[in-house]
Structure 1
Amino acid sequence: MAKLLRDGEKPDEFRVPQCLGIGVVLMEMAVWKPVHGILGIDPAQRLKAATVKGVQAELLAQDKLDDVEAEAGCVFASVVKTCLSSDLGKDADLQLSFWEKVVDPLEKIAV
């Protein structure tokens, strides 16, 4: 998974690669599929640069987010979208923003 998310990307494209990884893991949990299955990629196949470069956009596609919402609800889907889009602000605000946009909403989900 790390290769899928990092190779081919410029270092400044993701301010928070850990948040992107958390978003991928949350998406995998919601739809009960590994990221390769979500993207329709054969895990034994060598990845092409074009495939790797499009991963973030493909995971943020509305149909993928709709699948997450259908399986886990709108709050969970919103958290996944936040993590995948790295929409958490700059360094100084990152920790508080992560708490407010990711941790707190997840804590409030009632099962």
Structure 2
Amino acid sequence: MASDSVSQSSQSPVTKIMTFHPTKEEFRDFNRYIAYMESQGAHRAGMAKVVPPKDWKPRRTYDDIDDLVIPAPIQQVVTGQSGLFTQYNIQKKPMTVREFRKTANTD
């Protein structure tokens, strides 16, 4: 696999945030690359940095993802005051990106 590196997290000296540099070929099958990253221990920190190949270009628009299904969307509910807060993560039923956008943009 392409090169990867490890850097210290500013939040905890024990947590290591890994940085990955996939090749163009590896980047094509991103789910497989994620599995590789996890096999290297990237999931232990809860996040990782992925630097795309130099010739990679992002999508011009995201108009074609409205029917994509989010299998387990999470609703976050935060309560508290004066510096003491509790966050609840509530897993919702599967929904499309269109439904998620509508829910996210309502009060």
TM-score (norm: length of structure 1):
0.24
Between Structure 1 and Structure 2, the one with more strand by share is 2
Between Structure 1 and Structure 2, the one with more helix by share is 1
Q: Which has the larger Rg?
A: 2
TM-score (norm: length of structure 2):
0.24
